[in-house]
Amino acid sequence: MKTHVKALVVGGGVVGTSIAYHLARAGWDDVMLLERDELTSGSTWHAAGLLPYFNMSFATTHIHDYSIKFYKTLEEETGLNAGFSVVGNLRMAQSKARMDEYMLYASTAETCGVPYEWMTPAQVKDRWPLVRTDDLEGAIFHPTDGYINPADVTMAMAKGARQRGVVIERRWQVDGYRWAGSEWIVTCTKMVERGGNLVPSEEQIEITAEHVVTATGNHAQRTARLLGIKIPAIPVEHQFIVTEPDPALVEYRKTHGEHPVLRDADAKWYVREERGGWILGPYEEGAPARFEYGVPDSFRADLFPLDLERIEEEYLSMIHRIPSSETVGLKDDFNGPICYTPDGNPLIGPAPGLRNMWLAEGFSFGITAAGGAGKYLADLMVEGEAEIDMASLDPKRFGSWMTTEYAARKNEEAYDHVYVLHHPDEERPAARPLRTSPAYDRQKAAGAQFGHVNGWERPNYFAPLEFSDHDARSFRRGGWWQYAVKEAKAMREGVGMIDASAFTKHVVKGAGATAFLDWFTCNKLPRVGRINLTYALTSHGTVRTEYTIVREAEDIYHLISAGAWTSYDSDYLRKAVEDKEAEFGRIEVQNTTTQTGVFALAGPRSRDLLKKLVNDADPEAFFMNKNFPWLSAKPIELKMCPVMAIRVAYTGELGWELHHPVEMQNYLYDLLMAAGEEFGLKLVGARAQNWLRQEKSYRAFGTELGRDATPQEAGLDRFIDLEKDFYGKDAMLKTGIRSQCVTLLIEGPEDADPWGREVLYAGDVRVGRLTSGGYSVAFGKSIGMGYVKPEHAEVGNKLKVKMFDQLWDAEIVEDSPYDPSNATIRQNG
């Protein structure tokens, strides 16, 4: 057996096999896959094999799209039939809100070129008469997907991998990982059968590997322990049942083709044909998490007992939808572990804190995702980046605060939410509140409706105490919209305060700090006491992180970045420092995220408010432009609270961010609220902030900014210093402009704004997509930001946005349509 390889893939389910295949296909000729049991013996063997296109994320849509197209090519390449039944997929809607959801999805799907058709209830009935349609609003049909045999597709990929030189070894379990500076030393144990169990033998070997990928499915918790990291992938029970042949179906099939995969989302199930009968797969409430602390040796290709009571409601609703199924008996059942993560998306990418260690864990739609996950992870490993931004799937989107209990409860919730209405303004309740800033209770008492960002509670908006956020959600303007409008106006006309404590904060200091940051980021470094907006790039010249850099002293810098990405940013920064310290000199990195709270105070009256509180001989002059210019920072005292005040506002108003010791937050909060009364100080949430920043064309990380666009494509040339050398510069220049970030004012429907996922057209040609959307109080209409092909990016160009299956007028406007000269930000006083 080989004991040295370039890449070792651990786990021979559908995911690991696809990764091994794609690594070989991407050109790595020394790849080995180890499986502790048999290929497919994890969750893969008992999957129903459905390959749904439907999901609400841009990155995942690309992944699923790749899989569906790739699986169709496997037979030609390997001679093995992957068992792909392209029967299509019919998703039914029982309500108008569900149709709204499908229309939002469809607009996202179009951005990736995924084909779909709309069907009326009558058309469904006409084509599939066994389906009851009298209580339906409509349906969306995907003609090109369907279902596949999970074992067959895995075996076809395994054959393809072997043909490309991959070595696949079964009955070897990985039991230890040790990083030896430039490669991993992986301890592997030969597994043997004893009394039906699979147990470790005495035989052990060590394999050295430059790169390791773990794709260990339900064993992710064990993998996490072996690696000394946290992986929030814990399985939940998922069952499906198979009926005896349904005579009506058998009769129908004599003259008709197979039914598409049927989904009644409002009833929480999928159904497909199986040998004249039906398979029903419900996503019911109450499915428990399993194997929180590891999979017992006795559990191999095993199943849990069926819990029919738990899925009774879904079973009855299948009978309602397909009345002929009422009289057919049950033939078989499957209740297996299905891996989940707290947000339902897999964990694909570099492991936190480790080198050359890649995770591919937590797949709940693993059969669907495996092809694309294998391809894009292989791209990341071989090329350094994938063509889509993989950040939303990155394992580091969950921080070190994450616990087993959190993961288990959130994973149960993610399972239970598979078929809820996926409102873009949805906030899920499990495991909350967990991470709260001290002023949480005060804000809650003031009517805050909180969102959940990286575990933090962050106010989305403020409403009367009796207001129900849950009941107010919508695909159009939700009940909260009116409150966000008031908050946005207050910020533009008076003064507002946003709790931005969740911001990620790092201090970088030491003799090597300046040279390091000069290389690490693309803008000029600020002078002492000043701040700059800047970007750390990827090796491909695209945006890895956006930072506000505050230079406190010659070699002390504060780096402030998005709150949702603390571990993701920390990991990249620390690894870059480790790599460069020898070259640049000593560099110290501290993550101060949870030590420092932030209130963002902004609006034309913000200066008046602060003047009342600052300790200074001349408070009247303290915040004047000559003493405290825009884009500068200084330590100040607001009565008894020491504050690092930064003159910048993400809302584009005159304003200051007040970074304060978190233990003094309540003191500062009370102080500001009391002093703010005479100026009409209003608490403002993240939703209004998101609208306001679009009026200023401020790009947001995770939407306009990510690893699929360079800062030049994002239109950020003024923050790039081409005179200096910085990481990713050459690649950025070489890439050029593939698409261009633009701001659009939109004449949308009266009751809705775009969400930032919609497709853009010029005439009937698809030219781009929105990445952000919302409402502009300054212009009284919808606003959005997005990317279009360069030839369509000119200011004044008239485009169309697809919302609710209709095209709406949109015009590309100059960046910063509100206050383009920044007069209000620079206002003196």
Ligand X SMILES: Cc1cc2nc3c(=O)[nH]c(=O)nc-3n(C[C@H](O)[C@H](O)[C@H](O)COP(=O)(O)OP(=O)(O)OC[C@H]3O[C@@H](n4cnc5c(N)ncnc54)[C@H](O)[C@@H]3O)c2cc1C
Stretch that binds ligand X, among 40-48, 347-355, 486-494, 787-795 (CB under 6 A): 40-48
Regarding 19 and contact with ligand X (CB under 6 A), the answer is no
Regarding 46 and contact with ligand X (CB under 6 A), the answer is yes
Least distance CB 239 / ligand X (angstroms): 6
**Which of 229, 624 has the CB closer to ligand X?**
229
- The pairing of strands 167-170 and 4-10 is unpaired
Work out which of 5, 12, 533, 771 binds ligand X, going by CB under 6 A.
12
**Which of 157, 562 has the CB closer to ligand X?**
157
**Which of 363, 804 has the CB closer to ligand X?**
363
Work out which of 35, 469, 713, 753 binds ligand X, going by CB under 6 A.
35
Work out which of 5, 50, 224, 746 binds ligand X, going by CB under 6 A.
50
Closest CA to 41 of 254, 198, 195, 209: 198
Phi/psi of residue 623, each to 5°? -100, 10
**Which of 219, 321 has the CB closer to ligand X?**
219
One character per residue 278-317, x = contact with ligand X (rule: CB under 6 A): ----------------------------------------
**Which of 43, 89 has the CB closer to ligand X?**
43
Regarding 32 and contact with ligand X (CB under 6 A), the answer is no
One character per residue 210-229, x = contact with ligand X (rule: CB under 6 A): -----xxxxx----------
Separation between Cα atoms, residue 685 and residue 498, nearest integer Å: 6
Work out which of 21, 24, 44, 277 binds ligand X, going by CB under 6 A.
44
Buried b / exposed e over 733-761, threshold 16 CB at 10 Å, is: eebeeebbbbbbbbebeeebbbbbbbbbb
Q: Count other Cβ atoms within 10 Å, centred on residue 513.
A: 26
Regarding 562 and contact with ligand X (CB under 6 A), the answer is no
Least distance CB 188 / ligand X (angstroms): 8
**Which of 269, 599 has the CB closer to ligand X?**
269
Regarding 41 and contact with ligand X (CB under 6 A), the answer is yes
Least distance CB 743 / ligand X (angstroms): 38
Regarding 11 and contact with ligand X (CB under 6 A), the answer is yes
Work out which of 111, 173, 534, 632 binds ligand X, going by CB under 6 A.
173
Residues in Cβ contact with 443 at an 8 Å cutoff, skipping those fewer than 6 apart: 450, 459, 462, 499, 683
Least distance CB 171 / ligand X (angstroms): 9
What are the tokens at 710? Answer: 């360079």
Regarding 363 and contact with ligand X (CB under 6 A), the answer is yes
What are the tokens at 404? Answer: 């087993």
**Which of 213, 549 has the CB closer to ligand X?**
213
Stretch that binds ligand X, among 92-100, 209-217, 241-249, 575-583 (CB under 6 A): 209-217
- Please give the sequence-ordered ranges of beta strands (E in DSSP) within 701-823, or none if there are none: 740-747, 759-762, 765-776, 781-788, 798-803, 806-813
Regarding 34 and contact with ligand X (CB under 6 A), the answer is yes
Site for ligand X in 235-254 (CB under 6 A): 238, 240
**Which of 60, 690 has the CB closer to ligand X?**
60
Q: Which amino acid is at 790?
A: P
Regarding 364 and contact with ligand X (CB under 6 A), the answer is yes
Residues in Cβ contact with 577 at an 8 Å cutoff, skipping those fewer than 6 apart: 508, 516, 587, 589
Q: Which parts of 91-174 fold into alpha helices (H)?
A: 96-111, 121-127, 150-163
Least distance CB 340 / ligand X (angstroms): 9
- The pairing of strands 31-35 and 167-170 is parallel
Separation between Cα atoms, residue 407 and residue 233, nearest integer Å: 7
- Please give the sequence-ordered ranges of beta strands (E in DSSP) within 606-725, or none if there are none: 633-638, 641-646, 655-661, 682-683
Q: Count other Cβ atoms within 10 Å, centred on residue 221.
A: 23
Work out which of 5, 7, 8, 15 binds ligand X, going by CB under 6 A.
15
**Which of 233, 648 has the CB closer to ligand X?**
233
Site for ligand X in 105-134 (CB under 6 A): none
**Which of 309, 751 has the CB closer to ligand X?**
309
**Which of 237, 555 has the CB closer to ligand X?**
237
**Which of 368, 593 has the CB closer to ligand X?**
368
Q: Count other Cβ atoms within 10 Å, centred on residue 795.
A: 11
Q: Which parts of 508-631 fold into alpha helices (H)?
A: 513-520, 566-584, 606-611, 619-622
Closest CA to 506 of 582, 569, 597: 569
The counts of H helices and E strands in the chain are 21, 37
Work out which of 9, 22, 24, 36 binds ligand X, going by CB under 6 A.
36
One character per residue 327-356, x = contact with ligand X (rule: CB under 6 A): -------x-xxx------------------
Place of tokens 């304003």: 655
Closest CA to 644 of 557, 732, 720, 578: 557
Work out which of 5, 9, 16, 520 binds ligand X, going by CB under 6 A.
16
- Rg (C-alpha) for the chain, rounded Å, is 28
Beta carbons of 754 and 548 less than 8 angstroms apart: no
Regarding 174 and contact with ligand X (CB under 6 A), the answer is yes
Least distance CB 302 / ligand X (angstroms): 11
Residues in Cβ contact with 147 at an 8 Å cutoff, skipping those fewer than 6 apart: 48, 49, 50, 51, 84, 85, 87, 261, 272
The residues binding ligand X (CB under 6 A) are 10-16, 34-37, 41-44, 46-50, 173-174, 215-219, 238, 240, 334, 336-338, 363-368
